[in-house]
Amino acid sequence: MTRGFTRATVLIAALLLGACASAPPREPKAEWRPSLNHNERSAVMIVVHQTEMESAEAALLTLQTRNSTGRVSAHYLIRDDGGLYQLVAESDRAWHAGASRWGGVTDINSASIGIELDNDGVEPFSDAQITALLKLLDDITGRLDIPRHLVVGHGDIAPTRKQDPSGLFPWKRLADAGYGLWPREPRAEPPAGFDGWAALRLVGYDLRDPAAALRAFHRHYLGTEEEQWLPGDASILFDLQQQLMEMPPPPPPPPPSP
């Protein structure tokens, strides 16, 4: 009898714990009157990182604990053999972007999916890893309805603090598969009076440190760390600006139900 009671108690306790673990957080002083008229807040962009560590196992440990500056995470980690880990649910806010900005978005952790690539920062990215990344991008952008051109690097959104992924990252290969923003060929010469800084800002770069913004732009589009304007920059930016201006406006929000 005692044993039966103990078993039942343990079972009920386990059920209660399970229920608590999955229940959404609520204000305890409020009476819960649930409404079905809502949806999960979801990401609108994707940020690519490189771990800058020696192994995926070491990166996993850091992304589950902390690095030298504090607690960090990402939604996904892709090994260099293409193996895929998920560490945070897509509906949750992972801590991967830090202080950063892209266009009008300033709280990028709240607005993005973070993908870490196992890479030490100086080695090339493996074909298996990029193939796995492309499959993941296809899956995420389809399910979450994220615009395909809004795939950027950590260095793009935090130009004064971050350099990842390195200039070896194959942005052109991503663009050939339909991800990110990439200049088309052949490129037209920009008109007289074309404002490269305005185009850089329109693409999304934070211009508060202009040299850092140019370095991030060159890393992304040329694979170099140059901080001055280069011949050819204007034609790249003119084409990127044209592509953005040709994009259809985002769909209007769904009409309110009666």
By CB under 5 A, name the binding residues for Zn ion: 49, 154, 164
Could you tell me the smallest distance in angstroms from the CB atom of residue 53 to Zn ion?
Answer: 11
* Nearest to Zn ion of 114, 183 (CB atom): 114
Q: Which one of 116, 123, 189, 225 is the catalytic residue?
A: 116
Phi-psi region of 6 (alpha: psi -120 to 50; beta: other; left: phi over 0): alpha
Q: Which two tokens stand for residue 103?
A: 């266009």
* Nearest to Zn ion of 121, 142 (CB atom): 121
**Does the annotation mark 54 as catalytic?**
no
* Nearest to Zn ion of 85, 229 (CB atom): 85
What's the angle, vertex CA 209, arms to CA 207 and CA 213, rounded to 5?
60
Count CB-CB contacts under 10 A for residue 246. Answer: 7
Could you tell me the smallest distance in angstroms from the CB atom of residue 65 to Zn ion?
Answer: 16
Q: Which residues contact 157 (CB under 8 A, 6 or more apart)?
A: 47, 97, 100, 101, 102, 108, 204, 206
Among 45, 69, 49, CA closest to 163: 49
Could you tell me the smallest distance in angstroms from the CB atom of residue 105 to Zn ion?
Answer: 16
Could you tell me the smallest distance in angstroms from the CB atom of residue 96 to Zn ion?
Answer: 6
* Nearest to Zn ion of 125, 238 (CB atom): 125
Strand partners, 114: 47
What's the rounded Cα separation, in Å, for the pair 52 and 72?
Answer: 14
Could you tell me the smallest distance in angstroms from the CB atom of residue 207 to Zn ion?
Answer: 21
- Of the CA atoms within 13 Å of residue 178, those in its CB half-sphere come to 11
SS3 percent helix, strand, coil of the chain, rounded to 5, is 40, 10, 55
- Which residues belong to the active site? 116
